[in-house]
Amino acid sequence: MNGASPGPLASIRWPRPLAGLRGVKLADLPREVSAGVTLAALMIPLNIGYAQVAGLPPAAGLYAAIIPLVVFALLASSRHLVTSPDASMAGLAGAALVAFAAPGDPMRLQYALALALLCGVLFLVFWIFRLAFLANFLSRAVMAGFITGLGIEVFTNQVRKILAAPHVGDAASGALAAAERIKETMASSVETEGFFVEVIALLHSIPRANLWSVAIGVAAFLIVRLMKRYAPKIPGALVALVLLTGTVSFFGLAGKGVGVLGNAIPSGFPTLTLPAIPLADYLRLLPSALAIVAILLCEGLLLVRSYSSKHGYKADGDQMLFAWGAANLAAGFTGSLITGNSPSRSAAMDASGSKSQLPSLVAAVTIAVVMLFFTDMLAFLPNAALAGIVANAVLSLIEVHELRELWRVRRSEFWIAAACLLSVLALGPLRAVLIAFLLSTIDVIRRASSPDTSVLVESPDGTHFFPEADALESVNPGLVVYRFGAPLYFANGTLFLDEIEQILSRARGPVRWFVLDAEAMVDVDTTGSEVLKQAITLLARRTSPSPSPAPTRPSAPCWRSTSSRS
């Protein structure tokens, strides 16, 4: 041996391809194929809608359901998670692209592809260093507030599309002027994102709404809701799109102000492409890519754990990072929108009885056939119907029940969720991720710096000790048992010393023995070590020596620490 240390790639646990296809038997094939056709029926309208949410051409959404979907299905360790563009991810991507190109600008797609490549590279870096555990650092409160804020923002945008009001630009400029006047009266210099401007523009556009478009959008929304309730196994989004496309075509509503896709979807397979943007702009996109990856990672791994636990198999979280990375690299090179996690489509496949990633492969083939031979039919899809379908889908993101539960269980986490929600709307999703992460970190430090502590008293039968509110009035003379319920570190060291001083000053008699219950003190940093030394010095100075006449007994006061660790 030459003594050289192995490189980082030497310790990598390489993924096992086809892990998501294991467990499928020949008898399962009819059900898996049927589920795949259903998945394609769900993806076609939703992927087009989410591409529009991100301000991209409809084809970018459909391309995400071909090669990226196949790559993910072959590499994923989860048998049930479906990768696809979704509302939260589309909203994040749209917010990230605002600074680079406006919707309709051809360069917007180029920046979207570069963003997908960056996300793919970041996922692979996370996989190399086995960073799947980072999903634990975005709390339930952060996710609830963030996703709810995105849901509200996307839903508002879809309502504006359903209205299809003329002179929206005039309304928006008037709203912008009103918003600027409001901002000028504020003492704060913080600039807000466009959500509140959008709301004002939405209110201005209501009197100018196209009633035919409103009817189509509301009809799409209601059809999907009713189908989900009364016929959940039938893809309501596809039914709504077929019925309403036929209605628009038969009655000639396109000539009455109901917008349709037109010839926006080219026929054929996606082609290999490379984003044509300056290299320096990749660095400008990096913060946005980090935020998107963080949200996709946390949301996705939670879903992976849920399905693997439900169906009794083990899914490798790090391999899922590799699958997401490869799928997003494929998206960036094939003209596709970023692909992530789809809770709704994963739930639909689970409800259909699917046991593997085979439906994803069937769906990719089905959509490829549609792109080859049936894109002319997609040209008649009404935009209002797509907006109604997406609006229905994003309602599940507005987690009112989750916020209510946080309010009931822990108020501090509810306020973190509320701050994150408002940050998404006022400052934009990308800044909101940082704010929410900082708030969660502050909350963790706050709780760790103020742990549960108590003085323990002996039970009447002498079998155990228990915490007592007025323990200092009922402890045995000369004995204090003190429990500290957290690791001892720099943030709570002062509290530790202060409470020992208070215990000594409040004790009703001389303290000869001080016992520290350190079972919860699983870690002690350098500051904590110094605090322990100070506590021992304090106890030596403040406690009374044991009055035993035997010369072999120690004359100094006794300090004892109890712990379950060796």
User: 354-404, pLDDT tens digit by residue?
Assistant: 989 999 999 999 999 999 988 888 888 898 998 898 888 888 778 889 899
Confirm whether 328 is domain-assigned: yes
- Most confident residue range from 215-219, 443-447, 507-511: 215-219
| For residue 23, pLDDT beyond 60 | yes
Contacts of residue 307, Cβ cutoff 8 Å, sequence gap at least 6: 78, 79, 80, 81, 315, 346, 350
CA-to-CA separations, 62 to 8, 337, 371, 436, 451, in angstroms, rounded: 37, 9, 8, 33, 52
Confirm whether 211 is domain-assigned: no
Locus of tokens 């039968």: 461
Same domain? For 426 and 460 the reply is: no
Confirm whether 173 is domain-assigned: no
Confirm whether 495 is domain-assigned: yes
Identify the pLDDT of residue 550. Answer: 47
Instruction: Give the residue-averaged pLDDT of 351-355.
Output: 85
What percent of the chain stands above pLDDT 70? Answer: 86
Confirm whether 199 is domain-assigned: no
Same domain? For 296 and 439 the reply is: yes
pLDDT tier, 195 (very low <50, low <70, confident <90, very high otherwise): confident
The number of C-alpha atoms within 13 Å of 481 and in the hemisphere containing its C-beta is 17
What are 547's two structure tokens? 């009055």
Identify the pLDDT of residue 319. Answer: 92
Instruction: Give the residue-averaged pLDDT of 547-562.
Output: 48
Same domain? For 82 and 107 the reply is: yes
pLDDT tier, 335 (very low <50, low <70, confident <90, very high otherwise): very high
Identify the pLDDT of residue 565. Answer: 41
Same domain? For 297 and 349 the reply is: yes
| For residue 298, pLDDT beyond 90 | no
3-state secondary structure 419-480: HHHHHHHHHCHHHHHHHHHHHHHHHHHHHHHCCCEEEEEECCCCCCEEECCCHHHCCCCCEE
Same domain? For 440 and 473 the reply is: no
Quote the number of domains for the chain: 2
Identify the pLDDT of residue 108. Answer: 96
Q: In what order do the strands lie in the sheet with 513-517?
A: 465-467, 453-458, 479-484, 513-517, 558-562
Instruction: Give the residue-averaged pLDDT of 191-196.
Output: 59
Q: Last residue of a domain, which of 444, 478, 499?
A: 444
| For residue 174, pLDDT beyond 60 | no
Same domain? For 337 and 437 the reply is: yes
Same domain? For 333 and 469 the reply is: no
Domain with 493 in it: 453-545+555-562
Neighbours of 137 (CB within 10 A): 13
Give the single-character DSSP code of 515: E
Same domain? For 308 and 408 the reply is: yes
| For residue 470, pLDDT beyond 70 | no
pLDDT digits (tens, 9 = 90+) for 203-228: 888 888 999 999 999 999 999 899 88
Confirm whether 21 is domain-assigned: no
Identify the pLDDT of residue 289. Answer: 93
Same domain? For 332 and 480 the reply is: no
Instruction: Give the residue-averaged pLDDT of 491-505.
Output: 88
Same domain? For 315 and 425 the reply is: yes
Locus of tokens 């439900």: 310
Q: Last residue of a domain, which of 384, 417, 444?
A: 444
Same domain? For 422 and 313 the reply is: yes
Same domain? For 412 and 462 the reply is: no
Locus of tokens 């408002």: 422
Q: pTM here?
A: 0.74
Q: Last residue of a domain, which of 414, 444, 474?
A: 444
521: CATH: 3.30.750
| For residue 62, pLDDT beyond 90 | yes
Confirm whether 186 is domain-assigned: no
Name which of 71-85, 103-117, 552-566 the model is least confident about.
Answer: 552-566
| For residue 71, pLDDT beyond 70 | yes
Confirm whether 20 is domain-assigned: no
